[in-house]
Amino acid sequence: MKNLILNKQIAVVFVVFFLQLLTACQNPDRAGLSQEKGISSSAKIDLSALNTQLASIFDSSSMAAFLPWENDTISQLPAFQQVYKQKTNFWFNESGINKQGSELLRSLEDLQNDGLDVKRYRMDELRALSKEIQQNVSKELVFSFETRLTASFLKAIKDMLSGSQQNFNKEIKNPNDSLLNEADVLTLALKNGNFSEAFEMMRPKHPWYSKFRNEYIRLNQMKLQGGLQSVTNLRDSIRMGDSSAQITTLRKRLYKEIKSPADTLSPVWDISVLESLKKFQHLHQLRVTGQPDTATLSKLNTIIDSKMATLALNMERMRWLKHDFRQPYVWVDIPRMEMEYIDHDSIEFNMRVVVGRPSRATPALDAKIENVVLSPPWNVPPTIMREEVVPGIARRGGSYLSRRGLRAYDRRGRPVSASAINAGNYRNFSIGQAPGYRSSLGEVKFNMPNPWAIYMHDTPHREDFVKFYRAYSSGCVRVHKPKEFAAFLLRDSSKYSYEKIDSICKLRKTIFVPVNRNIDVHFVYLTNAVDSAGNVMYLKDIYGWD
């Protein structure tokens, strides 16, 4: 994806724009600002007086105490001082609120479709002020509207670039990559004269975000049209040819949400309603049975407000992430329990994964694949030592280690008996496992250095990949097709085809193979996802983080 914000040009744009803006404000007719019907006044706005007021704030020692909104601290931001350093207004011409001011009001209200609470931007108060100015163009009202609209825009910019809520979940570690401050964005928005485009520029560029937003709009329209009909009294096992009024209700309910089956009037259970229900189950991460079981009926009767709240939360989580992802990259949505390799905006490799169980949650993080390890040894991490191995030794002694192919060593690398290890001294020892098919890491490991020692790897527990629910690991991500993925990553070298990787692994000799491509890895926690057909999915909140 192309980065629509050209950070290196901001300084130049900022200076040039304000020189242009100063001229435009002094001659509003040349500024090309038209009046919108209903927001004009017969009296003229004294722009000179307004600009003098703006200048008086910044020339006094009371700037720190100036609050555009009561109980607000937006004016404490350097951005507020920066945008008004030329002491010229943005939102008025001599006839009243200009076109840009009117458009900004509409664009701020439209942020509700991003799942944001637009009460944060005092929309009711701003609308009330705009109406008052139609009747009374006192300098107090004009000054108040000017500074308050700017303050609301600055807050909205910050919300769009880095989120409106603080992330209190210590397991969500993905960094935000916004390098712009609010003043820079306001400068560019005014220069381009299009605030809807400005907000679009600030939205995360990952394609899932726009899908979530469109789904939010669709559900809101559905809600305004009366919402979704409840489905009750359906048997949990229906056979072809069965008929009932409840089947007609189900058809109508499915069509309203997923646009199938086409026939919404038939009371008969046929292939069309069966396949439609299967699609609904897939989109709600349910077992795809085609039968209206209890879990399916529960999802069918989920209220729209609940779905919209989930979408709003996940759009917020995406604003916490990078807004532009360098390609290629690996994308693991933890609740979805799948991995995708993305390049040129297309999925080039996909496989199931096993993620951390709730008591050992896989953290959401960003990293980079450094190398592929063939026949990796395994050194037991401190957390697993403390929580699993030491209690296991206490229960079963040395047999606990031998049954798992583990060996204990002291700090000098000498083998020691398991009986020497206990809860008080385990930090003085290391426990490891030799490479092999039965190793906890399997035959392939994908190194992606990070402070939390989380990586992707093979596993001897391959039976887990056929399961519907796949949250069983101790935190790392187990991958379904490790050798295939290794060959895919190393495809630039003829030395590492799938067959050669397989033969190397049989030697049980550890080899580190550098990955020459720059491949970022993003583990994210999103309880909405987008499937390969572009449909928005609703996922199980496996860790309860929602």
Give the CA count within 13 Å in the CB-facing half-sphere of 544: 4
Give the CA count within 13 Å in the CB-facing half-sphere of 445: 23
Give the catalytic positions in this structure: 457, 476
Angle, helices 10-26/182-192, rounded to nearest 10 degrees: 60
Tokens encoding 176:
């935000």
Contact of 507 with 300, CB cutoff 8 Å: no
C-alpha dihedral (23, 26, 30, 35), degrees to nearest 10: 130
What's the rounded Cα separation, in Å, for the pair 9 and 258?
Answer: 44
**Residue 107 identity:** S
- The 10 Å Cβ neighbour count of residue 207 is 14
Q: Classify residue 513 by its DSSP letter.
A: E
Tokens encoding 503:
């033969």
Radius of gyration of the chain, Cα coordinates, nearest whole angstrom = 30
Phi, psi of 41 (to 5 degrees): -140, 150
Tokens encoding 183:
């003043």
Contact of 273 with 250, CB cutoff 8 Å: yes
Contact of 416 with 410, CB cutoff 8 Å: yes
Cis peptide bond N-terminal to 261, omega within 30: yes
Contact of 441 with 378, CB cutoff 8 Å: yes
What DSSP letter does each residue of 1-54 carry, written as one string? ---S--GGGHHHHHHHHHHHHHHHHH-TTTTTPPPPTTSB-SSPP-HHHHHHHH
Contact of 206 with 321, CB cutoff 8 Å: yes
Secondary structure class of 157 (helix, strand, coil): helix
Cis peptide bond N-terminal to 381, omega within 30: no
- Through-space distance between the first and last CA atoms of the chain, rounded to whole angstroms: 29
Tokens encoding 71:
């109980």
Contact of 301 with 244, CB cutoff 8 Å: no
